[in-house]
Amino acid sequence: MRSITLGKTGITVPQNAFGALPIQRVSTEEAVSLLRNAYDGGMRFFDTARAYSDSEEKVGKAFEGMRDKVFISSKTQATTREKFEEDLNTTLKNLKTDYIDIYQLHCVARCYNEEDDIYKCLVEAKKQGRIRHIGITAHKIGVAEDIVKSGLYETLQFPFSYLASDRDIELVKSCKEHDMGFIAMKGLSGGLLTDSKACMAFMSQFDALPIWGIQRQSELDEWLGFFKDEITMTDEIRAFIENDRKELLGEFCRGCGYCMPCTVDITINQCARMSQMIRRAPSQNWLTEFWQQEMMKIENCVECGLCMTRCPYELNIPELLKKNLKDYKEILDGKPV
C-alpha cells in the first residue's frame, strides 16, 4: 500500500486510516478491540473529535502506553477562547496524552485567519506543544478553497469520494500545490457507496488520506485487506464508478446529521436519503415497522427551515423529505426496487 505524507506536517502513514466517529455507537470493549486490531493490521492514523461523545475516551484507552506509535487527530467546534481551552483540555485528558498530532477546527462556516481569536488559540497551543499541527475541516467547497488559499492551516479535512465534482478534485490538487495535507472524510458518502474496492481504487489516484468510518470488525477487515492485496484503478472499476455516478449524482443527502435535531422529531439524515439506501442495501432493513413509522413522521414537517440553515450542502431538505416519502409509499404499495 502506498503511503501519504500530509503536506508540511511531515506525517507519513499508509493511505488507509481509521475514522472513529462510529465507535461511539459500540461498547468500550468493542471499540478498543477494533482500534487495536486496526493498528495490528497496519493502520497508523486515527481521527476523532470532541463532538463524537465518548469516541476520544475509547481511542485514549486503546492506545494508552503506545502513544508514540500512532498519529491522532481530533477536533473542536469552539469559537471562543474559553471553549477552545475547555475542549482541548478535555480532549488531552480523554486521549490520555499531552499532545495531539493534528488539532482541527471542526466544520467551519468560514476560514478563520490571524485576526480571529480562535486561530490565535491554535497558534498558541502549538507553541506550547499541546498540539503539533493546525488543521481544519469544512463541508462547503468555497470555504475549503478559501482555507487553502490562506496558507494558515497544515491540513484540510473535506468530503471526498468517487462522487466528487471536478471542483472537488481541483481542491485536492490545490492542497498538494500548497504543501497542505488533505484528509478525505465521507469516502463512502455516508454509506451510499458500498464497494470498498472502488472507493479504495479512487483514493489511490490522489494525495489524499481517507479516514474510513468503522463500527464493526467485518468493516475493518475489508479495509485491512488492502494492505495485503493492493487495489489500483482498472477499466472495470472505472466503468463501475461511472455507472454509480450516473445513478447517484444530483441532490442527495450524505447523512452527516448536522441538520439534527428536527423540531418534529424526523430522523432527517436517514429519511432524506431513503430512496438511495433502500436500493443499495437489503431493502427489508428499511421496510420494517420502525422505519415505516419514522418515514411517516415526514407528514408532520412544518417546513420551519431550521434544518436548511444547518445543512452544509445547502439542500432543500423539506422538499427532499417529501420526494423520499412519496417514493417510499409507492414501494410499500408494491413498486419494485
Residue 262 lies in a domain: no
Residue linked to cell 408494491: 334
Nine cell digits for residue 11: 506525517
Position 314 scores a pLDDT of 87
Same-domain pairing of 172 and 135:
yes
List Cβ neighbours of 66 (8 Å cut-off, separation of 6 or more): 39
Same-domain pairing of 218 and 322:
no
Residue 45 lies in a domain: yes
Residue linked to cell 468530503: 159
Residue 6 sits at the vertex; the CA angle it makes with 238 and 235, to the nearest 5 degrees, is 10
Phi, psi (degrees; rounded to nearest 5) at 317: -65, -45
Same-domain pairing of 50 and 160:
yes
Q: How many CB atoms lie within 10 A of CB 73?
A: 27
Position 282 scores a pLDDT of 74
CA–CA separation, 106 vs 46, rounded Å? Answer: 16
User: Which pairing describes strands 181-185 and 209-213: parallel, antiparallel, or unpaired?
Assistant: parallel
Same-domain pairing of 279 and 188:
no
List Cβ neighbours of 35 (8 Å cut-off, separation of 6 or more): 18, 20, 23, 46, 58, 59, 62, 63
Q: Are 229 and 200 in contact (CB under 8 A)?
A: no
DSSP 256-307: --TTPSPTT---HHHHTTHHHHHHHS-GGGGSSHHHHHHHHGGGG-----HH
Number of structural domains the chain divides into: 2
Residue 131 lies in a domain: yes
Which one-letter DSSP state was computed for residue 243? H
Same-domain pairing of 190 and 316:
no
CA–CA separation, 216 vs 294, rounded Å? Answer: 25
Residue 248 lies in a domain: no
Residue 250 lies in a domain: no
Same-domain pairing of 90 and 196:
yes
Which long-range CB contacts under 8 A does 276-281 form with residues at least 24 apart? 276/192, 276/248, 276/252, 277/191, 277/192, 278/328, 278/331, 278/337, 279/337, 280/192, 280/194, 281/191, 281/194
State the CATH number of the domain containing residue 115. 3.20.20.100
Residue 60 lies in a domain: yes
Same-domain pairing of 217 and 319:
no
Range of the domain at 104: 3-243
**Does residue 312 have a cis peptide bond before it, meaning omega lies within 30 degrees of 0?**
no
Same-domain pairing of 216 and 296:
no
Q: Are 253 and 191 in contact (CB under 8 A)?
A: no
Same-domain pairing of 237 and 279:
no
Same-domain pairing of 96 and 214:
yes
Same-domain pairing of 182 and 317:
no
User: Which pairing describes strands 12-14 and 3-5: parallel, antiparallel, or unpaired?
Assistant: antiparallel
Scanning the chain, the segments in alpha helix (DSSP H) are 28-41, 55-62, 81-94, 117-128, 141-150, 166-177, 196-203, 217-228, 235-248, 268-271, 274-280, 289-296, 306-310, 317-332
Residue 252 lies in a domain: no
Helices 166-177 and 141-150 sit at what angle, rounded to 10 degrees? 10
**How far is Cα of residue 46 from the mean position of the Cα atoms in its chain?**
12
Nine cell digits for residue 296: 411517516
Position 66 scores a pLDDT of 97
Distances (CA, A) of 67 to 5, 64, 90, 229, 313: 19, 6, 17, 28, 36
Position 235 scores a pLDDT of 97
User: Which residues in the chain show pLDDT less than 70?
Assistant: none
Position 276 scores a pLDDT of 87
Residue 194 lies in a domain: yes
Q: What is the 3-state secondary structure (H, E, C) of 77-105?
A: CCCCHHHHHHHHHHHHHHCCCCCEEEEEE
Same-domain pairing of 93 and 167:
yes
Position 279 scores a pLDDT of 85
